[in-house]
Amino acid sequence: MPHSRPTAERWLVAEPDDDIRDELQRLLDGPADELSARFNGRLQFGTAGLRGAVGAGPRRMNRLVVRQAAAGLVDHLLAAVPDAASRGVIIGYDARRKSDVFARDTARVCAARGVRAMLFPHVVPTPVLAWNITGTGAAAGVMVTASHNPPADNGYKVYLGTGAQIVPPADEQIAACIDAVDPTTVELAPDDHPLIEVLGHELVDAYLDSVVGVRFRPDLAGTPVAYTAMHGVGGSPLLTAFERAGLAAPVVVEAQQQPDGTFPTVGFPNPEEPGAMDLVIGLAAASGARLAIANDPDADRLGVAIPTTWPASSPARWRRLGGDEIGWLLADHVLRHTSGDDRLVVTTLVSSSLLGRMAERHGIHAAETFTGFKWIAHAVLARPELRFVFGYEQALGYLVTDRPLDKDGITAAVLLAEIAAVAESEGRTMQDLLDAITAEYGRYVIAERSVQLDPAVGLASVVRLRERPPTEIGGRAVTEIGWFEEATLLRLRCGDELRLQVRPSGTEPKVKLYGEGMSVDPAPYLDALASLLVPHA
């Protein structure tokens, strides 16, 4: 604590933004413990890059923190990638608070260190940035976004030249370089430095042109779809993607169509959150749509709702699909419209095991990897002899083509709209398609829970549960125990009918639990498992 004030005073001198400087001055004028809390450590750079609330000090997202991260990233690239300076870094940003200045500062740090910077001139979806990393030959990509986090947050996502997000050991190496940088003295090039290239619209156009290639049934013009951008940056690109792919234009939630980092109509801009899709479901019911879809704020995720009866003129007759259900629909469509035993599908440990069953039925390869889409990308890169056709994680992340090597809520939306059109052409509903999958493979029942715990306590609770695993849960005998060290994930099987999993969240103060049952509801067993965590807290 004694060192907090001198450090904060140096930050105050260096801070370029009036609002953050005013906040920091208030901290300096206030209780010492509040100042200490902001300056005791810093936001940790990891496989998700940086993410946190915008505010003053090293434990918040601000321009000094971003400059430090950019400098550390560039120093790592110059040491690890021989031609990094000429290949450069491509930089995109969304509409959250300060995203534009975070992106501009990143470009200026790159140029000051002799590295080419390619900066999008306006907000773009994360998939547009990710798709263009390999196309431009960049040594790395940076996307300034907090994705589906609460409105107060922003973030800093890093990709390497493969187009995939960073994984160990690259994250640790970059973090070490960041640690060596003083955030108050990072050199910045002028805005008009010759190494800073402000990109034109052609890279966005190239991505949108590529969307056409995800369709298998271009003969179908589509079916009525309702859409919300959820105040994010996906609105205009998605409409253009539908047009170029030959699909009818969706009817949109006008109040949420334009980018707005304050998110005035939704408290938590995540399609997974209860109530977040209410407006688009209401619009779908009122307009006669057969499908309601939502992107998260940076458009790399896709939420979906379908009618439970048809016609469905009341929102009460609609339901949100779980992330696995969306994955099943996309996988079934992709596998029925592709061929070859060299095909590869990939999912994560906590997603449904049904994708593996589908792959087995079609005689193709399937891989299961750690939680987080970055691991799906690296599973694809690890099998270059195979032809990747589909990957997903249950947290609404889907990849229906081989580029970018990251989840893409725009191409997934196009393909899902095609699926709805196929169903309508056959006189079926989306629920009919899910019922057909159940008839073919059996009834897979998915449930999730979470227990709010401090990160350190949550980790300790999961580790203790691994060391002293239960012999039965909810009256069912535990027949198999698996531990995945890299994911800090404990897997418990109760016969062939029930799989339960538990892991501490990597981004939130909670422990997450995942259940899958074969014609068995896993929810009560997850509740029983959650109760075993609480005494440890």
Catalytic residues: 147
- According to DSSP, the β-strands at 153-160 and 117-119 are unpaired
CA pair distance 95, 262, nearest whole angstrom:
9
CA pair distance 197, 174, nearest whole angstrom:
24
Contacts of 199 (CB under 8 A, 6+ apart): 90, 118, 119, 120, 121
C-alpha closest to that of 127 among 401, 420, 322: 401
Residue 456's Cβ-count burial label (10 Å; 0-12, 13-18, 19+) is exposed
Residues 247, 417 contacting (CB under 8 angstroms): yes
Torsion of CA 512, 518, 519, 520, to 10 degrees: -40
Per DSSP, the residues of 46-65 read BTTBEEEEB-SSTTSB-HHH
- According to DSSP, the β-strands at 153-160 and 140-144 are antiparallel
Contacts of 446 (CB under 8 A, 6+ apart): 322, 324, 325, 352, 394, 514, 515, 516, 522
Residues 344, 389 contacting (CB under 8 angstroms): yes
Distance of CA 214 to the CA centre of its chain: 20
E strand or H helix at 508, and its extent? none
- Half-sphere exposure in the Cβ direction for 481 (13 Å, CA): 12
CA pair distance 448, 510, nearest whole angstrom:
13
Facing residues of 371 across strands? none
CA pair distance 477, 115, nearest whole angstrom:
59
| Sign of the Cα pseudo-torsion (76, 145, 400, 392, in order) | positive
CB atoms within 10 A of CB 483: 14
CA pair distance 507, 526, nearest whole angstrom:
21
Residues 291, 420 contacting (CB under 8 angstroms): yes
Residue 219's Cβ-count burial label (10 Å; 0-12, 13-18, 19+) is exposed
Residues 14, 63 contacting (CB under 8 angstroms): no
Angle at 250 between CA 297 and CA 230, to 5 degrees: 20
- What are the Cα distances from residue 293, in Å, to 171, 238, 286, 527? 33, 11, 15, 30
CA pair distance 249, 242, nearest whole angstrom:
6
